[in-house]
């Protein structure tokens, strides 16, 4: 995968600043990355107006502040200030194509232990990241030998950087074994999610997804997809525990998340799902999601924060 380009202006502790000037002391890197939470937000260009649609900005910032609170950091910035920070940052960098926006909050500390400062420093930066929604990308996935984190240990509901070591173990194993992605089970053997995305199955024309109590991040794309499934695709949707063998017996499955967007899973542990090609529900959902995030479908307006591109 090509390295992404970071845009020249970042937002750092209350101000827009040149990327080069936003630095931390190198001895803080370890403690700061343990004591940190983050968000990942996409902004999609509308093909006609060229405006950028920041997708689900409010939901991401709400989750960001919740993650900060749950790791017991104190944030000097309100929801409205962070919202204005993201919009002004995108406007300042004025990207001419789709971008990814990464709010990150960390505590400074001299140790890895509990003696960390409670003050949340906040940095937000923007990178490019091409959408794969109009491509034929698919996933050959494998059930991981690593179990998903649990709520009473490293709560998956909190988007904490440290949780992503669990994701790294699972992704590295899947890639090493020749797969595209891992699917993690809970320690009880129920399906949880991918390393950075949620998962949906289709059986007999119905959509099924692990419940929010199945060791998953409360994904904003998952909620988006569930709403689109009910309203736009007129599907029945069930949130419940999912057995491992339901993965193998599904007619279709797909991953969903801000980064991965909507990607059909065509095999699990080398067993083809359906005829081993993206199924009709996955394809319809991918196309519907594409039109909604770009504002080609004009409904669901409250999900998009529009920033106009200056020609």
Q: Which residues bind ligand PLP (CB under 6 A)?
A: 40, 193, 196-198, 216-217, 219-222, 257-259
**Nearest distance from residue 100's CB to ligand PLP, in Å?**
11
- H or E segment to which residue 17 belongs: strand 15-18
**Nearest distance from residue 217's CB to ligand PLP, in Å?**
4
52 versus 182: smaller Cβ distance to ligand PLP: 182
257 versus 264: smaller Cβ distance to ligand PLP: 257
Q: How many CB atoms are located within 10 Å of the residue 297 CB?
A: 16
Whole-number Å distance between alpha carbons of 107 and 119: 6
116 versus 224: smaller Cβ distance to ligand PLP: 224
The sign of the torsion formed by the CA atoms of 272, 276, 278, 281 equals: negative
**Nearest distance from residue 221's CB to ligand PLP, in Å?**
3
Pairing, β 181-185 against β 139-147 = parallel
138-148 burial, b for 16+ CB within 10 Å, e for fewer? Answer: bbbbbbbebbb
Structural contact between residues 226 and 196, judged by C-beta atoms closer than 8 angstroms: no
9 versus 199: smaller Cβ distance to ligand PLP: 199
**Nearest distance from residue 48's CB to ligand PLP, in Å?**
26
34 versus 220: smaller Cβ distance to ligand PLP: 220
**Nearest distance from residue 257's CB to ligand PLP, in Å?**
3
Structural contact between residues 191 and 185, judged by C-beta atoms closer than 8 angstroms: yes
């Amino acid at each position: 995968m090509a390295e992404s380009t970071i845009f020249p202006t970042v937002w750092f502790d209350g101000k827009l600043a040149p990327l080069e000037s936003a630095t931390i002391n190198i001895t803080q890197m370890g403690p700061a990355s343990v004591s940190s939470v983050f968000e990942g937000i996409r902004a999609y260009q509308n093909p006609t107006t060229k405006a950028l649609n920041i997708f689900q900005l409010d939901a991401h910032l709400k989750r960001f502040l919740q993650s900060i609170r749950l790791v017991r950091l104190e944030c000097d910035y309100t929801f409205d200030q962070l919202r204005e920070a993201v919009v002004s940052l995108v406007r300042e960098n004025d990207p001419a194509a789709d971008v990814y926006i990464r709010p990150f909050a960390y505590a400074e500390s001299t140790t890895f232990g509990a003696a960390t400062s409670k003050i949340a420093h906040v940095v937000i930066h923007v990178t490019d990241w091409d959408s794969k929604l109009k491509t034929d990308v698919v996933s050959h996935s494998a059930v991981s030998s690593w179990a998903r984190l649990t709520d009473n240990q490293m709560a998956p509901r909190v988007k904490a950087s440290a949780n992503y070591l669990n994701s790294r173990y699972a992704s590295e194993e899947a890639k090493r074994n020749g797969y595209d992605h891992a699917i993690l089970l809970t320690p009880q053997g129920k399906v949880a999610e991918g390393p950075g995305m949620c998962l949906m199955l289709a059986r007999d024309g119905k959509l099924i997804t692990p419940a929010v109590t199945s060791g998953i991040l409360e994904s904003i794309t998952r909620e988006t997809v569930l709403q689109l499934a009910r309203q736009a695709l007129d599907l029945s949707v069930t949130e419940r525990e999912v057995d491992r063998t339901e993965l193998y017996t599904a007619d279709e499955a797909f991953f969903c998340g801000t980064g991965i967007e909507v990607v059909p899973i065509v095999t699990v542990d080398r067993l083809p799902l359906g005829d081993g090609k993206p199924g009709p529900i996955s394809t319809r959902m991918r196309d519907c999601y594409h039109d909604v995030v770009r504002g080609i479908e004009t409904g669901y307006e409250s999900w998009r924060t529009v920033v106009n591109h200056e020609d």
